[in-house]
Structure 1
């Protein structure tokens, strides 16, 4: 019998609720950059590199053209953390209807975990969620930044979200598929 899967839905409803993490020391060589040219191949690389050991499987069957089309959608942004020029993690923002912005995917490559990068990357991403409408004319102002995580994700994910000010709004428990 398989273990249960717990999923937590969390949100911020005002920019002032965000409690930013400290920036890593300059020696960490960390830069966060928006991938301004949508690339399905790069998106798939990030997804598999970060989620490979966290059971991220929902997008694995996507063909290249679906990856590309997905990342080209207006209001969709990918932000990448680089540590000394090497990808360390990423987040995908999804501008949704009525001013909601989902942090659809967020995580670090295994070799970059435990270095203090996750809190800073999440802080940066949540802040970018609040100013998403500034980069996409015609989008409504952000009223809510939200995400979800589950018991298959990294052991520090939920605690990181809560430390940044995200509040749990809903919890579901189910049997995992597979």
Structure 2
């Protein structure tokens, strides 16, 4: 859900050295959408739920999916905190598979009563543009709305794939809030390699 952070004034705002700023769009749907006809896939896909995933395995997939888009929160999170989330009975973690190949990550968070956050949703680079995203979203919607929820929500940002926002809107989500997030550049701390997310300039003015 959107935060109650202070509203930025119109015009430019300074961002401290070493920090990044990006625009976040929060989207929601308040009822289960009508199912759409399934499109043929280039290869058979399955979705496997992973209960109590090994942190190293989870982070490896998280990195494979999200490094190009500056996903870093779960890499920097202390093990105990991450384990508490992943092992919570109201958090569901799924892996998109093509045979034995891991192609995507889906995480549904039902910890807030009556709601579900599409906490993480993404594909490895090789699977983008092949229909796998639609398959994964259809699965996500079915699993989220199988519970007695009144609201499903997600957020995307300007660091994400350029087609992410349009994809979410086509899936039935509607924007309800815009925010600006300021965070330390994870490539400067070594959390992610410096060459990650080449579309986002390094927040290193000395480079």
Shorter chain as denominator, the TM-score bin is 0.7 to 0.9
2:144 to 125, 129, 139: 129
Q: Deviations over 1:2-61 (max 9, x none)?
A: 78511111111111x255462443x51211121134332222122111111111112212
Rg: which structure is higher? Answer: 2
Give the match for residue 22 of structure 1.
38
**Structure 1: unaligned runs, 5 residues or longer:** 133-140
| Cα distance change of structure 1 residues 177 and 21 upon mapping to structure 2, 3 Å threshold | farther
Aligned mates of 1:64, 1:131 — CA distance in 2: 30
Give the match for residue 13 of structure 1.
30
1:61 to 63, 76, 80: 76
Give the match for residue 103 of structure 2.
88
| Cα distance change of structure 1 residues 18 and 90 upon mapping to structure 2, 3 Å threshold | farther
Contact 1:88 1:112 in 2 (8 A): yes
Structure with a larger share of its residues in helix: 1
| Cα distance change of structure 1 residues 18 and 54 upon mapping to structure 2, 3 Å threshold | farther
Aligned mates of 2:37, 2:119 — CA distance in 1: 20
Give the match for residue 177 of structure 2.
170
Contact 1:24 1:30 in 2 (8 A): no
Q: CA deviation at 1:167?
A: 0.7
Query: Which runs of structure 1 show a deviation greater than 6 angstroms over 4 or more consecutive aligned residues?
Result: none
Does the alignment pair 1:142 with 2:149? yes
SS in 1 for 2:135: helix
Contact 2:24 2:180 in 1 (8 A): yes
Aligned pair count reads: 168
Provide the alpha-carbon RMSD of the alignment: 2.2
Give the match for residue 137 of structure 1.
none
Contact 1:18 1:123 in 2 (8 A): no
| Cα distance change of structure 1 residues 10 and 18 upon mapping to structure 2, 3 Å threshold | farther
